């Protein structure tokens, strides 16, 4: 990944974050990088390695996934009778 491509990718991620009303600070905390690192990428002073950038994209993708409510499991309480007829 060249440094020019890195600045373009950083910009694309920041646009996605703005659309989701998320901050770069939150992203950096969730990815495990410092804000200074993010700004070095943005200012073309350094670039991310592939594994770190994959983590960034994974976290941003996770922000975009709608959170599903937990499904309640239906269980029969002990007080309810068994509807199956017993054979004699």
Q: What is the pLDDT of residues 28-61, one digit of tens each?
A: 999 999 999 999 999 989 989 999 999 999 999 9
Structure tokens at 25: 């600070």
Q: Is residue 77 part of a domain?
A: no
Output the pLDDT for position 10: 95
Q: Are 20 and 48 in contact (CB under 8 A)?
A: no
Output the pLDDT for position 48: 92
Domain count, the chain: 1
Whether the predicted pLDDT of 4 surpasses 90: no
> pLDDT grade, residue 3 (50/70/90)?
low
What range defines the domain where residue 47 resides? 3-64
DSSP 8-state code for residue 86: P
Among left, alpha and beta (phi > 0; psi -120 to 50; other), residue 32 is left
Whether the predicted pLDDT of 17 surpasses 80: yes
Q: Is residue 85 part of a domain?
A: no
């Amino acid at each position: 990944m060249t440094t020019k491509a890195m600045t373009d990718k950083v910009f694309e991620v920041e646009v996605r974050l703005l659309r989701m009303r998320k901050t770069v600070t939150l992203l950096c905390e969730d990815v495990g990088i410092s804000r200074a690192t993010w700004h070095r990428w943005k200012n073309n002073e350094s670039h991310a390695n592939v594994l770190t950038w994959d983590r960034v994209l994974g976290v941003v993708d996770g922000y975009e996934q709608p959170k599903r409510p937990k499904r309640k499991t239906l269980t029969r309480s002990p007080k309810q009778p068994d509807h199956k007829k017993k054979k004699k």
